[in-house]
Amino acid sequence: MEKNKLLFTPGPLTTSETVKQAMLRDLGSRDAEFLGVVRRVRRRLLELGNVADGSYEAVLMQGSGTFAVESVISSVLPRGGKLLVLVNGAYGERMAKIGRTLGIATETLVFPEWRPVDLAETRQALARDPAITHVGTIHCETSTGIVNPLREIGRVVKEQGRVFIVDAMSSFAGMPMEVGSWGIDFLVSSANKCVQGVPGFAFVLARGELLVEVGNQARSVSLDLVSQWKGLESDGQFRFTPPTHVLLAFWQALQELEQEGGIVARAARYAANQRVLLEGMKELGFDTYLAPGDQSHIITSFRYPKHPNFNFSRFYEHLSQKGFVIYPGKVSDADCFRIGTIGHLFPEDMKALVAAVRQTLTEMQIASGESVPGARRDLHLAGTALTQLS
C-alpha cells in the first residue's frame, strides 16, 4: 500500500489511523446504531460551541462546507431581505457570490486581504442602510490565514439588530469560541477541518428561534436547512442519502478531540506547530504575508522568495515527492503559497517539513541546506504547553 503523504493544508487534512479505520464498516442509514451516532454528533457539536442549553440546533448537511454556507443563505434570507458580506479574502467573495447567484440583494464591504474587518466601518455601513437584514463574514480567512475579530463584529451586528452568519470553516474546534454570547446566529463549519474528520458533510449551529421563524422560504430542495432540521428532529434521519462512513469517522474524531483535552489543548498543539514552522521558515529566508498580530495558527501564507530559480510548481512537486503536500496561494496582490498547521500533525512533522523545504531549495539551487537551531527548542516548549493543558 502506498504511504500516505502529510497534508499541510486547511482541509482535507491528515487524519489519524483510527479515524480512517472507523470507516471500515457498513451501517444502514435507518439503522438504530447509525441514528444514535447522528444524535450524539449533533449533541457534541452544540457542546463544542458552548450552546448545548437548548437555544441552538445542530443541523448536518451533506456536501462540502460551501454547500452548508449556501444552505444557510438560501434558506434564511427572506425574499425581501438584504445581505451584507464583510470581505477580506476569497471565501468572503464566495459568500457574496452565493447571495447574488440566488438573486438576493447583496452588498459587500471590502477590506484589503492583509487587514482584518474594521468595526467602525461595519457599524457605519449598517447604520447607512437599514434594508440590510443579515450580515455574513469569515472567521478565519483561509485564503491568507487572517483572523477577523468575531466577537467584536458580533457585538456590532447585534447592536444594529441584524442576523449574523459566520463561516467558521477553518476555525471551529481549532479556536475556543462562544457561539451564543458572541452574537452568532448561524455558524457553519465542516467535518474535514479542525475536528479532524474526513470530507463529506458540513454542519450549521443555528439559533433555534430563528429556525422556527424562517419557515418555508428555501430557494433549494436539497439545501433546505429548515427541512433538513425538521427531518433530523422528527426521526433522526437525513432527508437524502447520508454519508454514513464519514459520520462514523467524524464521531471517532470527536472522541479523539475530547481525549486530546478539548479545543484548548488542540489549539495549543496547532499554535505549537506554527511556532516551529515560522521559526524554521524564517531561518530559510521566507517572509509571511500577514503581520504577526493578524495571523491565525490555522494556515500561514508565505511570500515567494525573490530568486530567479524559484518556481512554485517545481517547489510543490519536490515537496510532494518527499511526502509533504502544501497549498498554492490565494492572494490577489502577492505571490504566495500556504502551509497549514492543523490536522493530525505535530511539531516534529513541522520540523520534518522545514527540513524538506531546506533540501528542496538546495535542489533548486536557491540555498544550501543548514540546520534550524530553534526548532528543537520550540518542540520542547510545545510539549510542555500540551502537558499543562491536557
What confidence tens digit (pLDDT) does each residue in 273-291 have? 999 999 999 999 999 999 9
Q: What are phi and psi of 74, to 5 degrees?
A: -75, -20
Q: What is the pLDDT of residue 159?
A: 97
Contacts within 8 Å (CB) and 24+ apart, 125-130: 125/84, 126/84, 126/156, 126/157, 126/160, 126/162, 127/160, 129/82, 129/84
Mean pLDDT of all residues in 335-357: 98
| Whether pLDDT at 377 is above 80 | no
Q: In this structure, what C-alpha cell is assigned to residue 50?
A: 458552548
The answer to whether 68 touches 204, Cβ cutoff 8 Å, is yes
Q: For domain 261-389, give its CATH number from 2.60.40.10, 2.40.30.10, 3.90.1150.10, 1.10.287.130.
A: 3.90.1150.10
Share of the chain above pLDDT 70, in %: 94
Q: In this structure, what C-alpha cell is assigned to residue 61?
A: 448537511
Domain boundaries, the chain: 23-259, 261-389
Pairing verdict, β 324-325 and 6-7: parallel
* Amino acid occupying residue 352: A
Q: What is the pLDDT of residue 1?
A: 58
Rounded to an integer, what distance in angstroms lies between the CA atom of residue 190 and that of residue 200?
8
| Number of Cβ atoms within 10 Å of the Cβ of 55 | 12
Q: For domain 23-259, give its CATH number from 3.40.50.2000, 3.40.640.10, 3.40.50.1390, 1.10.3720.10.
A: 3.40.640.10
Residue 376: which pLDDT band, with cuts at 50, 70 and 90?
very low
Q: What is the pLDDT of residue 18?
A: 98
Give tens-digit pLDDT for 218-263: 999 999 999 999 999 999 999 999 999 999 999 999 999 999 999 9
The answer to whether 187 touches 49, Cβ cutoff 8 Å, is yes
Rounded to an integer, what distance in angstroms lies between the CA atom of residue 180 and that of residue 8?
31
Rounded to an integer, what distance in angstroms lies between the CA atom of residue 92 and that of residue 383?
35
